[in-house]
Every structure is written in C-alpha cells, then in structure tokens.
Amino acid sequence: MTDLRVETTPIPGLLVVHLPVHRDDRGWFKENWQRAKMVELGLPDFGPVQNNMSFNAARGATRGIHTEPWDKFVSVATGRVFAAWVDMREGDSFGATYWTEVDESVAVFVPRGVGNSYQALADGTVYSYLVNDHYVPGRTYPALHLGDPTVAIPWPIALDSDEVEISAKDRANPLLAEVTPLAAKKTLITGCRGQLGRALAPLFPDATLVDLDELDLTDAAALAAWPWEDYGLILNAAAYTAVDKAETPEGRPVAWAANAAAPAALARIAAERGITLVHYSTDYVFDGREVEGGHTEDEGFAPLGVYGQTKAAGDLAVSAAPRHYVLRTSWVIGEGHNFVRTMAQLAADGVDPAVVDDQVGRLTFTAELARATRHLVDTGAPYGTYNVTNSGEPRSWAGYARRVFELTGHDPARVSTVTTEEYSAGKELSPRPLHSTLALGKLAGTGFVSADADEALAAYLAG
C-alpha cells in the first residue's frame, strides 16, 4: 500500500493521483475520492455534480479521444485500462500528450479541454468518473482520431487488431491538424457602461461586456438562460450608487435588488458552476468611526444608510461563493461626472465652492481598482475581501478640492470649508461615514503596490 500522493504531468493541470489500497483475503478497499486530503495535496476543489460509469465487456474496447468542456476525476473500479490524454485547449500546450496504465490504485484528474481515451486491458473493466457539470445531450466538443500520427499514442493493443473494438463515431474523428482547439472559459463584465466597467474592459480585452439591457441581473429567467458553462470569471461592476435616492420609497427597492439580490444570485451561480466572482464594495458598509490605520477587511458591518445596508448584504451573499473576491473601495473616480471633474470645472468657471472637511479618506481611481482586480485574479491570491484604494496620506474632501484647484493652476484658498452637518442642513441626504480610510496591508501582502493618490490625481487631471 502506498501513501496518497499527487504527481504532475507534461499536460498542465492533468494530475495523477496514487491511491492507498487496503487489501485482505476478501479483496480491497480504497478512498476513491477524498476531497479534503486530495485538495490539500494540490488537486483542484472542482465541485463534482455527476458520477458516470463505463463498463467494457471485453479486453480491447477502446474509447476516445473525447474532449469534454468540464473537469473530471477518473478511476478504475475493476480491471485495468491504458489511458491517454491529449491537450486540446488553445494555447502553447495544444497537442501535448501523456499516457499511463490505470488500475484500482491510480486515479487521474483531467481538466476541461484535455482529450481523454481509454483502452480496456482486461475483460469486464469498469471505470468511473466524476464531472463538475451535467451532461447535456447534443452538445458538441472537439474529438481526435485514436490513431493520429502526430500524437502517436502507443496503444498496448494495436488499433487494427481483431481484439480492438472502436465505435464508428470514434473511427471518424478528425486528425489533430483539423481540430479547432477548445477556447478558454470567458470573462463576463457586468455594468460595462459604468465608470468601473469602462476601466475593467481594457484589462480584460476578451471579456463579454453586458449592462442591464443585455443581462438584467435582477431577472431570474434571464440569469437562467445565460450560458454560464462558457464562463470562468465574473467581474460584477454593476451597482446602484445613487446614495441619497436609495433613502426614498422609489429608490429603496431598486437599491436592494441591484446591490443585494443580484449579487446573491450571481454568488449562487458561481458556487454551482465553479466560477470566480469578483464583486465591488464600499466604505459605506461601516459607520465611519475613526480607526487607527484605517478600516480593515474583517471589521464588522455598521452601515448608516440604505445604500450601505444593501452593499453590506451583497458582500455577505458574495462571501458564500467558494471562489470570490470582494474588493472594498472608497471615493471612486473614473470617467464621466465625478467630484474631481466638478471641482476642476468650478475652478475654471471662477466659482469658489464650500466643501466638507470632516469626511476623511482616500481617492480610488478606477484604473487602480481595475489593476488590483487583474493582479488578484492573475496571481491566484487567496479568495476573500480586500481593501483597494490609492495610497498616500488621507485627505478630506476639502483637501482634495484644494489639490484640484492647485493642480489646475488656481488658488486653493478659493475653497472654503463646511462640516457635514452644515452641508446637510435642509437637504434630504443619506448619512455619510466621516472616516473612510481603508487599511491596505492585506492587499500589499499579495505583492500589489498601490499607486499614490496625489500622483494619480495629477495624472488624471493632466490626461
């Protein structure tokens, strides 16, 4: 009996698992699939949803080479097979091969897009495979001829032998030169016409871009009809951000639908499909009390208004998805109407604004938020919540307004100050957190160096 171990192969992601088999006079016993132990050894936590069995009546039965659009975990229940795999995914590893003999002591994890084939080496061979998507009749996917000379699989029993039985369909499979590689899973960006969605798109150039009119995240039927099997990453940049309107009878249900119910629906889909979900949160989930060093990711929620409450609910829902990133941010500045553009315009028009000086935080430029998203996804950082803002000394809104005046060649002394209470008097406004600075240590621990907010502000105005 060997110890449980996992070894890599020349095909990226194709893993061979050596299983301990306990034998006695009655036969043998093995833990064929043991999630905790195998994941700890490096097997993906791929979330199987279906178990299939293949019975091969006679030695020589040969099947393949089939490329399914899901991950599978293959093992033998009785008998032996010669198994061969060919990488059919687009990319540098297309056409890479690996083969081995599989009996009760060996299992193989086969990633999506890797073609697999099996030749029974004993009568009555049964092999089993777990898959992480349900079989859909009629779905087509790449296949490869068993005798393709390019991959040159050394079948133990020659394919032209009288012992070998191959289906007519498998005999008609194309050669490698005729195969269209299986495309990688796609990225979906929701809220693509918002300021964050526009910043994400250039960093994910092959992404599918949707807004409310293409995919209504609050419509259960629309979500059910979307081809989620084609996607591996969702960047949910859709949100209801009308902070003050969220307090009104008209705005409240819309805010809850967009900021809480929609992320919850995406989280369920992501969990069921093994999709990575990136969601964007806000400092409004906190009450704005002053915290030395800034609010950390594990601070308890205490939102002051409806907008913050809906965003906190969305955060909790998304955290239920196994593969999730919640990027919490503050004072977002992107393309279109925003605080910085307003101050620059007022400066140019000769208007001297009064700006609140008791709300303190850091600006977050959408380019920085998009860059952090790309970094976390590409580096495979641990899933969870990360604070993302630009770095540097926190300022008040009035402090940033003065900096805008200065950078645009105007006298910063033209900006006067008011308190939040004074500014809000007589207005129907949602309560604002006074201290919005977010601690950036966790993000820095992933190797991300946050760009300075003052430098980013200067570049933004110069552009």
Over residues 142-187, the pLDDT tens digits come to 999 999 999 999 999 999 999 999 999 999 999 999 999 999 999 9
pLDDT of residue 10: 97
Answer yes or no: do 104 and 227 share one domain.
Answer: no
Answer yes or no: do 87 and 190 share one domain.
Answer: no
The CA distance from 1 to 359, in Å, is 65
Answer yes or no: do 173 and 214 share one domain.
Answer: no
pLDDT of residue 435: 96
Residues recorded for the chain: 463
Range of the domain at 101: 5-178
Answer yes or no: do 190 and 174 share one domain.
Answer: no
Answer yes or no: do 147 and 229 share one domain.
Answer: no
Of 138, 161, 178, the residue that ends a domain is 178
Answer yes or no: do 128 and 21 share one domain.
Answer: yes
pLDDT class of 100 with cuts at 50, 70, 90: very high
> Which pair of structure tokens corresponds to residue 85?
């795999």
pLDDT of residue 1: 59
Answer yes or no: do 167 and 196 share one domain.
Answer: no
Q: Is the pLDDT of residue 136 over 90?
A: no
pLDDT class of 137 with cuts at 50, 70, 90: confident
Average pLDDT over residues 371-394: 97
**Cβ neighbours of residue 311 closer than 8 Å, sequence gap 6 or more:** 239, 259, 260, 281, 282, 284, 285, 303
Q: Is the pLDDT of residue 117 over 90?
A: yes
Answer yes or no: do 301 and 411 share one domain.
Answer: yes
For the chain, the average pLDDT equals 95
pLDDT of residue 406: 97
**How many CA atoms within 13 Å lie on the side-chain side of 292?**
0
pLDDT of residue 463: 82
Q: Is the pLDDT of residue 447 over 80?
A: yes
- Catalytic position from the list 18, 66, 141, 383: 66
- Catalytic position from the list 98, 118, 127, 129: 129
Answer yes or no: do 150 and 205 share one domain.
Answer: no
The CA distance from 93 to 272, in Å, is 28
**Does the active-site annotation cover 141?**
no
- Percentage of the chain beyond pLDDT 70 is 100
CATH number at residue 122: 2.60.120.10
**Does an H or E element contain 50, and which?**
strand 50-56
Of 178, 202, 223, the residue that ends a domain is 178
**Does the active-site annotation cover 66?**
yes
Of 152, 178, 204, the residue that ends a domain is 178
Cβ–Cβ under 8 Å, residues 185 and 270: no
CATH number at residue 333: 3.40.50.720
Q: Is the pLDDT of residue 30 over 90?
A: yes
Answer yes or no: do 236 and 285 share one domain.
Answer: yes
Please give the tally of structural domains in the chain. Answer: 2
Inter-CA distances, 156 with 66, 113, 305, 356, 358, Å: 19, 25, 70, 79, 78
Answer yes or no: do 253 and 386 share one domain.
Answer: yes
Answer yes or no: do 33 and 154 share one domain.
Answer: yes
The CA distance from 329 to 386, in Å, is 9
